Amino acid sequence: MNKMALALGSNLGDRLGNLRKAMRLLRLSDVRITSTSDIFETEPCGKPDQPRFLNACAIIETEKEGEEILALLKDIEKQIGRQEREKWGPREIDIDIIFIDQKIIDSEMLQVPHPEMHKRDFVLKPLAQVVPDWIHPVLKRSVHELASEIPEKDVTIVRIARL
67-120 pLDDT, tens per residue? 999 999 999 999 999 887 777 678 999 999 999 999 999 999 999 999 999 998
pLDDT at 159: 65
pLDDT at 44: 87
Query: What φ, ψ does residue 48 adopt, rounded to 5°?
Result: -70, -20
**Residue range 135-160: mean pLDDT, rounded:** 81
| 82/76 Cα distance (integer angstroms) | 9
pLDDT at 155: 46
Identify the active-site residue in 24, 52, 75, 94.
94
Active site residue 96: yes
**Residue range 52-70: mean pLDDT, rounded:** 95
Active site residue 94: yes
Measured in residues, the chain has a length of 163
What is the per-residue DSSP string for 6-48?
Answer: EEEEE-SSSHHHHHHHHHHHHHTTT-EEEEE-EEEEE--SS--
pLDDT at 90: 86
pLDDT higher than threshold 70 for residue 128? yes
**Residue range 19-48: mean pLDDT, rounded:** 91
Identify the active-site residue in 15, 30, 75, 96.
96
pTM for this predicted structure: 0.92
The mean pLDDT value of the chain amounts to 90
Question: Half-sphere exposure (CA, 13 Å, Cβ side) for 112?
Answer: 22
Tell me if 61 sits within 8 A of 39, measured CB to CB: no
Tell me if 144 sits within 8 A of 128, measured CB to CB: yes
Q: Which amino acid is at 101?
A: D
Identify the active-site residue in 14, 27, 85, 91.
91
pLDDT at 156: 55
Q: pLDDT class for 158, splitting at 50, 70, 90?
A: low
